[in-house]
Structure 1
Amino acid sequence: MPPSFLMLHGLLLIIAFNTTYTYSLNQEGLHLIQAKSTLTDPTAILSDWNPTDHTPCNWTGITCSHSGYVTSIRLPSASLAGPFPTAFCRLPLLSVLSLPDNSLKSTIPPNISDCRNLTYLDLSANYFEGVIPSTLPDILNLVYVDFQDNSLSGEIPAVFGNFRRLETINLTNNLLNGSFPVALTNVTSLKELVLAYNYFVPGPIPPQLGNLSNVEHMWLSSCGFYGTIPDTFSQLTKLSNLELSYNSLTGPFPDIVFQFRNLYQVELYNNSFSGELPKKGWSNLTALRQIDLSINSFTGTIPVELCKLPLASLGLSDNKLEGLIPESLARSPNLYDLRLFNNSLIGPIPNDLGKVSPLKTLDLSYNKLFGEIPSSLCEQGALVDLVLIGNSLSGELPATLGDCKSLERVRVSKNKFSGEVPAAIWGLPHVYLLDFAENLFSGNLSSINSGGLLNLSSIIISGNSFSGGIPEKIGSLSKLVELFASDNKLTGEIPKSLFKLNHLTTLDLSENDLSGEIPDEIESLKQLNELNLANNKLTGEIPNQIGNLPVLNYLDLSGNSFFGKIPSGLASLMLNKLNLSGNQLSGEIPSVFHKDVYRDSFLGNPELCGGFSPRCVENNQSRSNHNLWLLRFIFVFAGIVLVIGVIWFVFKYNSIKKTNQGVSISKWRSFHKLGFSESEIIHLLNENNVIGSGASGKVYKAILSNGESVAVKKLWQSSLKNEEDGANLNSPKDEFESEVETLGKIRHKNIVRLWCCFKSGNSRLLVYEYMPNGSLGDRLHSTKGRLIDWSMRFKILVDAAEGLLYLHHDCVPPIVHRDVKSNNILLDEDYGARIADFGVAKFINLPNKGSESMSVVAGSRGYIAPEYAYTLRVNEKSDIYSFGVVILELVTGRKPIDPTFDERDLATWVQTTVNQKGRDHVVDDELEYESKDQIYRVLDIGLLCINPLPMNRPSMRTVVNLLQESVVDSKPKPMVNKDGKVTPCFEEDCSDEASLV
């Protein structure tokens, strides 16, 4: 047989074998492979979808019937991108299609109805836009539809009333408009109707909703409703959860709600209900376990009949309730959550509260309560949060609190408590916040137990009569972030162990009788932001090491006996507040402090001169002999020439030596094509080029030989460890390097570019693009803020939002910044915004995108989400809260923490003021002549972002969409009705009875 024939025969066998091998996959698998070909799969989650298999039943996300037909596709949080994979609808028995939290985009195609056997369809948290296909009701067996957190627009199709088996429809957080979909009230099979946070045309609640006789959960927050709850709601006999927050409902609270016999939860906060809570009708609500009527205008007393119910949770905060807290509450066996803060309640706390109930949260702050704290609050051993701020409670703290091992937060400030704090409270194992400020407590702090308090991050004891010294063992509280101990009777020296607290950001020991010197070890507090030692008996020289505190911006050492010169190191700080008055300082005031902002910083130091002080006396003798000065000048000039020559020679010698031997630099990573060398960067890192400091190092401006400017961040030698500890990373250095490498790969116009990273000796250097207009915080809260008009502020907001959207939704894995604030939003030459400073950023790798627990709170005061501060758990919703505060900053022009807010922060002040007075009372006066319509819409977006419930905050994708939609003329605009209430309307629908704000 000829060789050519044998070769041809072998080739035919190979082709036949491969053909059979390729087409061994059944038809179900071929459809899936076709769908895969239309998708981008950056995490390779579909890598086992192998065309060489016989069946797809073992592939990731695939479930098959016994006969081998695909019945379910579940690929949540898989980072898949591309259009909707229509090939899925060719699977004849597919009943479940679940693709939430991916990056699918374009539109939901009308031929999705080809998936004729679907019962479950979840496309939530993607990028779908356009209208909802009207063909969906053609899928006759559809039971569950979830399209929340997309960008769907237009009206909900009227044909949706044709669904016959649909039980759940969730369209929350989209851009739907038009009239509220009354057609859905024909779908009597519905159990969950969730349409919150859309842009429906304002109108009353449709009475037809009473036709939904099987509905159990109705979430219609922010749907544009006004008027009252219709009487037809009495027909909703199975309703257990009703949420109507963020609408404009008016009138007295409807009695009809109290007829719901299966009602488990009511949330009607942020409406305009007024009048008294109904006194009767509560006894019919035998299934009621949870009720939240917070943030309304209810008056009168708390109904005794209500408190006799077997409640698990009662929230009546932020109303105008008066009278006593009913004693019957103490007899509720299931009560674990009681929140009545911000009312005008009076009298004692019920004596047996907590005796029979597993009380976990008790917040009675800002009422007019008096008497003592009941000793039974933690009798069931479950109490976690005890918050009683701003009452007139008195007596001693019960000793039983010291036995309450479950306690995490104790806040009893602004009362009249006296005596000593029980010693056991100082040793509770889980407590992270102790707030005893502004009471009459006495005794000393020696009971602080170094064996307990493992999680303590805040001690607030200002405004009491604590005496004695600060115990040396306070240095063992390794997670301490804040220590407020001003206005007490503390004596002795400041213990050196205090300066071992690497996470300390605030140290306030003012108004005491402390003596001695400030230890040089203070320079170890690299994260210290505020240092207040005013009005003590401290002496000695001010340590120059204070100038090594990289993020210090508040320094008050006034009213002591410090002497000597003002240390030169202070000139390197970027201080918003400096007060050295009332000491015995001498010498010249450094030129950096010759500014109006420091005019009163040096009063009461008669030996100081320079700046605003005329006391510098020139040497008359030196002025009298001009010839001698001329001779000296000649000698000095000659000496300078000689020194310059020597320096030049040494410099050239070292340059040649480095060229021959190699510079002692180990290159870490270059992320872009660079036009400069590491050696050039090193030579530009001097104190004259410092432009700021961060939590982990100094920042320098380096002007390169090619004329380009870069920003160089030089990390402290211990910063890596400190940052990891602070962020709860506790990871080895290679993990940190991996994260830096990942950040270096980021390519987004709204995130500061990291040019390169490298090591030089013990230093780690990060080289970023230079942002000539500094930070948003500096621009907004300085005299330069007047230069930022609304159009510029809005542009900055959109830019920053798009940067965060990229981090949350486009990075794999997603990145939570954890320190979003105006000072970390930098501005380029055109005022384009960039997100910066990833020193405490955290990768979220959890499969279900849940929150992750941290060891300490990272972030900045006023920006930290309440659940993060309370629970130390973080996810992307924490960033959204912080970004909401940034929105409020730009709208109000105010800082997140301001003395005029009293004990509140910006978020609380804005919410309270808007609810009580309206939106015009919070807008920055500098924006008086700007577009109020758009400003109000942006303000509303900010209020959505700071929602106290993380689940109710929009995603970053939704925030960007809302900001972009706020410039569209057809969006809702506020109007003022005859009764003075603010409700939304469309410009074309605003009647003569209302005027646009």
Structure 2
Amino acid sequence: MVHFNQQVLLFLLLFLSLNPTLCLNQDGLFLLQAKLQLFDPTNALSDWNLRDATPCNWTAVTCDATARVAHLNLSNLRLSGPVPAAALCRLPSLANLSLAYNYLNATLPAAAFSACAALRSLDLSQNLISGPIPPALALLPDLQALDLSSNNFSGDIPATFGQFRQLQSLSLVSNLLNGIIPSSLGNVSTLKTLQLAYNVFKAGPIPPSLGNLSNLEELWLAGCNLMGPIPPSLGNLAKLTNLDLSMNNLVGNIPEQLVSGLRSIVQIELYQNALSGTLPRAAFANLTNLERFDASTNQLTGTIPDKLCGLRKLGSLILYANKLEGNLPESIVNSENLYELKLFNNSLTGSLPSGLGGNSKLQSFDVSFNRFSGEVPAGLCGGRVLEELILIYNSFSGRIPDSLGECKSLRRVRLRNNNLSGVVPEGLWGLPHLYLLELVENSLSGSIANAISGARNLSSLLISGNNFSGSIPEGVGELFNLEELVANHNSLTGRIPTSMVRLSQLDRLVLRDNHLFGEIPFGVGGWKKLNELDLANNRLDGSIPKELSDLPVLNYLDLSGNRLSGAIPIELQDLKLNLLNLSNNQLSGEIPPLYANENYRKSFLGNPSLCSSLSALCPSLDGNESKSRKYVWIFRFIFVLAGIVLIVGVAWFYFKFRNFKKMKKGFHISKWKSFHKLGFSEFEVVKLLSEDNVIGSGASGKVYKVALSNGEMVAVKKLFGAPNMENGSVDSEKDGFEVEVETLGKIRHKNIVRLWCCCNSKDSKLLVYEYMPNGSLADLLHSSKKGLLDWPTRYKIAIDAAEGLSYLHHDCVPPIVHRDVKSSNILLDDEFGAKVADFGVAKIVKGANQGAESMSVIAGSYGYLAPEYAYTLRVNEKSDIYSFGVVILELVTGKPPLDPEYGEKDLVKWVYSTLDQKGQDEVIDPSLDIQYREEMSKVLSLGLLCTSSLPITRPSMRRVVKMLKEVTAPALPKSLSGKLSPYFQEEATDNDHQGSIV
């Protein structure tokens, strides 16, 4: 029918063109001809018709005074098909043409645009256009702006582009261009903006001829596979305000001609290259307008130039991850506009300038991992806007300045591993916006001030390895956002405050090696998120609370070295612990059966009244001979009964499991490997692998739900063996099995699915996991069970999964990239707690500072693949962040990553286009309660940030966790409709350095 209508319209157009007396003018006919070549699924161009005299009132059309079409803006209309260049270029007055943010595909007609003689602006960005860039575009005499970014163009930048006469802006960002950057571009003297970033050009140098672009204001060459030195000729670009050469392989010094020539520069970025040499000193004297200087993550040596620090307009100085030495120049106090100073991971020495921060509104200050000494400057918060103070791993000494206790703007304070002493300023404990206070490994003394009750946003209080004394104030129980309290190796005394049982968000509580006494408070069963409880080596008494068995995610329990008495609650068997230590107490009675084995021997030593069959655990019983004779008949009866049971059991085993021997050949006990202390037999798992227990299957094997005799459920993944590939390649299933075993066998985190044990045999392979009763997020979110996932539950799932990925990226050494993050690999327990699963294609990232690592094949799932991964096969943590961003969008929209509803789009593109066209209400899942709209809006903004097409703009997973947790904070600015919140834009640029813990 559509084809028939097109034929009718084509006939009418032909008829009208032969009858000029009819109403629609010639420009309208040309537009209708162009419409015939486009697929318009939303009928956005429905008002393009034959009834009007001119097209001037049509959608997307603007005419000049003579009723001729001058501007045509067809962006964001979900159009697809080829670019109708031949028809559009017949419009004689067309000056501006935009087809951006559509689904145009195919290639550009080689010569069609050469007929657009009046065209001044052409925007085809954010489409699916492929093939080479037509050289004929350079023949447009009046073209001033050309934007072909975010397409699939390949090949070379045409050498003819050097023939543009009036071109001022050229953007080819994020394509598949794989030739070289032609030197002829240096002939386009009218250029003001040149953006070639994120292409896969052949390795080569920056063309020195670019230094001839005397009017250039912005040069963006990030991620262009550039190598060699920076050409000194770039110093001729006197009008340049923004220079970005990041993510390349440049070497050598920063040329003095460069920095001395760029007198108007506002921003220069040399991020993540391989630059070496020293920072030129005298050259900075001419950079009087310099506002931001970023030369981080290079191999720069020498000292920081005094004249660079003394620039009065300097707002941001970022030189982290280099090899700089010497002092921070005193002249830095003269930079009145300084708001950001990041010098971490260098070898800087000496004292910080005493006046630092006194003349500027410093917001972020990070000099970690250096060799600074002396006192912390008292005026760092002189501008009253300091948010981040990070001085970890230096040799600072003396007291923490009292002025920091009055700095209400502080959000993160990290002073660990220095030589600080004295009493912590009382006000510092209770700063209202502070969410991280880290004072670990200093010589600080005094007590935790009662003022701490005012730190209502505090999530991490890390004060271990100091000389703090006194009791823990009851006010700690007012910190309802507290997730970590680590205060071990101090001299704290008194009782554990009963108010602490109200801390429902608590994840870690470590108070070991203090002088605490009294009982463990009643009500600890409210710590539903507690993962680690360590109260060892104190003077605690009373009994072990049965409530501890109600903590669903508790992994680590250490109550050793106290004075606890009474029986061990048998309910502790319900916990799934990686570590249990109750040694050196005064416990009595029987050890719970699950723990009464050799695996837990060390967990109970030093309890004289504790009885068990484990030798040397208890004192020997009184050897009274008469008493032994009194009970000899009991032992005889037991032996006889045991013999009968043995005979019956052997017979039953022979008749019931005659075929088990055959199965056993494939699963020898010697081939089993355990990663946790098991409460079940591996052979019990094998015998229960029946077809009745299958809960999932695929090409590589099956998944079984197994109910064990101890009442526990496990999930068993059975992978079938397969022959190796030719040419010596490793079998993919075998590789996936080994990767998953190697990865999950070492991981311990509450949000990573637990691998109990595995078996690798010739015929098949078994992976035994903890069972997740609510299945995967995808199973619930995209099925009839979707109603179970209200917004608070979805929000919790997002945080849980983010914490699991953050652990992989930031806390594993070396880091681990999952490579297949998706909703079906996020599993849900009985309380909808989320855990990341399926590590069959995970990749360990070797080298702390290495960039993306190239893979031989694409791993991952369509709809979740980051754009750069799909065509470069480069993998790093930013690929996982993109995939997790898609999961966030699934949670907010309730839609799958791929769906026929989107046409040729995926979920990410559908969200972007729908936001632009219809607004946020059309994106958010209508089944969710509208009272959470503001929170959902903020999480949606974060999802868009994570799915940014440019990897460098995606936040780290540590930042993602932080931003998710702050979504409910009332101080956050409201998200703009359909756009990123300014809060998230700010956070996206703030990447933690190596070793940071949010």
Tell me if TM exceeds 0.5.
yes
Which residues of 2 match residues 920-959 of structure 1 at below 5 A?
none
Partner of 2:463: 461
Quote how far apart the aligned CAs of 1:449 are: 4.5
Cα distance per residue 1:465-509 (max 9 Å; x no partner): 223333333333333333332222233333344343343333333
Partner of 2:765: none
Quote how far apart the aligned CAs of 1:312 are: 1.9
Which residues of 2 match residues 66-465 of structure 1 at below 5 A?
69-74=68-73, 81-84=80-83, 86=85, 91-110=91-110, 111-113=112-114, 115-260=116-261, 261-310=263-312, 311-450=314-453, 452-465=454-467
Gaps of 5+ in 1: 1-18, 638-671, 673-680, 730-748, 782-792, 810-816, 826-833, 853-869, 889-895, 898-904, 906-946, 954-997
The 8 Å contact of residues 584 and 607 in structure 2, kept in 1 or not, is answered as yes
**Which has the bigger relative contact order, CA under 8 A and spacing at least 6?**
1
Residues 709 and 153 of structure 1, relative CA distance in 2, 3 Å threshold: closer
Residues 687 and 444 of structure 1, relative CA distance in 2, 3 Å threshold: farther
Residues 219 and 559 of structure 1, relative CA distance in 2, 3 Å threshold: farther
Does 51-60 or 578-587 show the bigger shift? 51-60
Which residues of 2 match residues 571-586 of structure 1 at below 5 A?
571=573, 573-584=575-586
The 8 Å contact of residues 777 and 822 in structure 1, kept in 2 or not, is answered as no
Q: Secondary structure at the match of 2:382?
A: coil
Cα distance per residue 1:566-622 (max 9 Å; x no partner): 6555555555555444445563465489697x7865555563647998879999754
Pick from 486, 507, 510 the counterpart of residue 509 of structure 2: 507
Residues 34 and 564 of structure 1, relative CA distance in 2, 3 Å threshold: farther
Amino acid at match of 2:838: S
Q: Secondary structure at the match of 1:375?
A: coil
Amino acid at match of 1:353: L
The 8 Å contact of residues 245 and 271 in structure 1, kept in 2 or not, is answered as yes
Residues 405 and 818 of structure 1, relative CA distance in 2, 3 Å threshold: farther
Q: How far apart in 2 are the matches of 1:213 and 1:562?
A: 79
Q: How far apart in 1 are the matches of 2:619 and 2:595?
A: 17
The 8 Å contact of residues 821 and 883 in structure 2, kept in 1 or not, is answered as no
Cα distance per residue 1:443-466 (max 9 Å; x no partner): 32233454x434333222222222
Q: How far apart in 2 are the matches of 1:703 and 1:483?
A: 31
The 8 Å contact of residues 365 and 390 in structure 2, kept in 1 or not, is answered as yes
Q: How far apart in 1 are the matches of 2:256 and 2:946?
A: 37
Q: Secondary structure at the match of 1:203?
A: coil
Quote how far apart the aligned CAs of 1:45 are: 8.7
Quote how far apart the aligned CAs of 1:344 are: 2.3
Partner of 2:637: 625
Quote how far apart the aligned CAs of 1:219 are: 1.9
Partner of 1:775: 838
Partner of 2:815: none
The 8 Å contact of residues 804 and 835 in structure 1, kept in 2 or not, is answered as no
The 8 Å contact of residues 426 and 453 in structure 1, kept in 2 or not, is answered as yes
Cα distance per residue 1:38-87 (max 9 Å; x no partner): 66677x59387575985766666555545555544556666655544556
Gaps of 5+ in 2: 1-15, 17-21, 622-630, 650-695, 697-704, 717-748, 755-769, 801-819, 845-853, 871-876, 896-907, 921-937, 962-984, 992-998
Which residues of 2 match residues 714-725 of structure 1 at below 5 A?
721=792, 724=795
Q: Secondary structure at the match of 2:185?
A: helix
Amino acid at match of 2:259: F
Q: How far apart in 1 are the matches of 2:780 and 2:799?
A: 34
Residues 882 and 29 of structure 1, relative CA distance in 2, 3 Å threshold: closer
Q: How far apart in 2 are the matches of 1:710 and 1:367?
A: 48
The 8 Å contact of residues 120 and 145 in structure 1, kept in 2 or not, is answered as yes
The 8 Å contact of residues 858 and 869 in structure 2, kept in 1 or not, is answered as no
Quote how far apart the aligned CAs of 1:684 are: 13
The 8 Å contact of residues 714 and 764 in structure 1, kept in 2 or not, is answered as no
Partner of 1:991: none
Amino acid at match of 1:304: D
Q: How far apart in 2 are the matches of 1:602 and 1:500?
A: 30
Amino acid at match of 1:181: P
Does 239-248 or 33-42 show the bigger shift? 33-42
Quote how far apart the aligned CAs of 1:338 are: 1.6
Q: Secondary structure at the match of 2:300?
A: strand
Partner of 1:46: 44
Does 343-352 or 602-611 show the bigger shift? 602-611
The 8 Å contact of residues 484 and 507 in structure 2, kept in 1 or not, is answered as yes
Cα distance per residue 1:809-834 (max 9 Å; x no partner): 9xxxxxxx999589999xxxxxxxx9
Cα distance per residue 1:216-259 (max 9 Å; x no partner): 22222333333322332232222222222233333333211222
The 8 Å contact of residues 750 and 799 in structure 1, kept in 2 or not, is answered as yes
Which residues of 2 match residues 461-860 of structure 1 at below 5 A?
461-519=463-521, 521-563=523-565, 571=573, 573-584=575-586, 587-588=590-591, 590-591=593-594, 604=606, 607=610, 609=612, 622-625=634-637, 688-689=712-713, 700=771, 721=792, 724=795, 751=822, 775-776=838-839, 798-800=859-861, 802-804=863-865, 847=915
Q: How far apart in 2 are the matches of 1:549 and 1:84?
A: 61
Q: How far apart in 2 are the matches of 1:53 and 1:687?
A: 76
Does 86-95 or 427-436 show the bigger shift? 86-95
The 8 Å contact of residues 416 and 439 in structure 1, kept in 2 or not, is answered as yes
The 8 Å contact of residues 825 and 837 in structure 2, kept in 1 or not, is answered as no
The 8 Å contact of residues 610 and 616 in structure 1, kept in 2 or not, is answered as no
Amino acid at match of 1:255: E
Cα distance per residue 1:709-756 (max 9 Å; x no partner): 999999999996365478699xxxxxxxxxxxxxxxxxxx98556999
Q: How far apart in 2 are the matches of 1:563 and 1:89?
A: 90
Q: How far apart in 2 are the matches of 1:454 and 1:413?
A: 22
Q: How far apart in 1 are the matches of 2:709 and 2:91?
A: 64
Residues 881 and 56 of structure 1, relative CA distance in 2, 3 Å threshold: closer
Q: How far apart in 2 are the matches of 1:181 and 1:277?
A: 29
Residues 587 and 163 of structure 1, relative CA distance in 2, 3 Å threshold: farther
Q: How far apart in 2 are the matches of 1:530 and 1:885?
A: 34
Q: How far apart in 1 are the matches of 2:555 and 2:304?
A: 47
Q: How far apart in 2 are the matches of 1:351 and 1:525?
A: 45
Pick from 942, 952, 961 the counterpart of residue 874 of structure 1: 942
Q: How far apart in 2 are the matches of 1:250 and 1:778?
A: 34
Does 356-365 or 399-408 show the bigger shift? 399-408
Q: How far apart in 1 are the matches of 2:434 and 2:419?
A: 22
Q: Secondary structure at the match of 2:282?
A: coil
Q: CA RMSD in A?
A: 5.8
Amino acid at match of 1:623: F
The 8 Å contact of residues 552 and 575 in structure 1, kept in 2 or not, is answered as yes
Amino acid at match of 1:372: E
TM-score, length-scaled by structure 1 = 0.63
Residues 873 and 299 of structure 1, relative CA distance in 2, 3 Å threshold: farther
Quote how far apart the aligned CAs of 1:30 are: 6.8
The 8 Å contact of residues 354 and 380 in structure 1, kept in 2 or not, is answered as yes
Residues 50 and 212 of structure 1, relative CA distance in 2, 3 Å threshold: closer
Quote how far apart the aligned CAs of 1:694 are: 7.7
Partner of 1:15: none
Amino acid at match of 1:204: P
Cα distance per residue 1:64-112 (max 9 Å; x no partner): 5455555445566666555445565565544334454544444344335
Identity %: 41
